Amino acid sequence: MSEYPAINLVLGLIGTVTGTIALIISYIVYRKDQPRLKVTITKCIHNFNDALTHINLWVTFQIRNQGDRGTRINDAGLSFSINEQKYNLKKQNFGEFHGGSLTSVWIKAHDTESFTAYFSENLESNLKKKLESIDCTFTIYHTHEPLTIKTTSKFKERSRL
- Alpha-carbon distance 82 to 134, whole Å? 8
Specify the pLDDT at position 159.
60
Q: Which 8-state DSSP code applies to residue 110? A: T
**What sign does the CA torsion over 34, 74, 156, 151 have?**
negative
Q: 3-state DSSP call for residue 35?
A: coil
- Alpha-carbon distance 135 to 15, whole Å? 58
Contact residues for 77 (Cβ-Cβ < 8 A; gap 6+): 88, 89, 90, 91, 138, 139, 141
**Nearest alpha carbon to residue 79 among 140, 131, 129:** 140
Residue 117 main-chain phi, psi, to 5 deg: -120, 140
- Alpha-carbon distance 127 to 53, whole Å? 7
Specify the pLDDT at position 97.
43
pLDDT in tens, the chain (161 residues): 567 788 888 999 999 999 999 999 988 887 777 888 999 999 999 999 988 999 999 999 999 999 888 999 999 999 999 988 899 999 888 875 445 567 788 999 999 999 899 999 999 888 888 899 999 999 999 988 899 999 999 999 876 55
Residue 15, Ramachandran bin (φ over 0: left; ψ between -120 and 50: alpha; else beta): alpha
Residue 25 main-chain phi, psi, to 5 deg: -65, -40
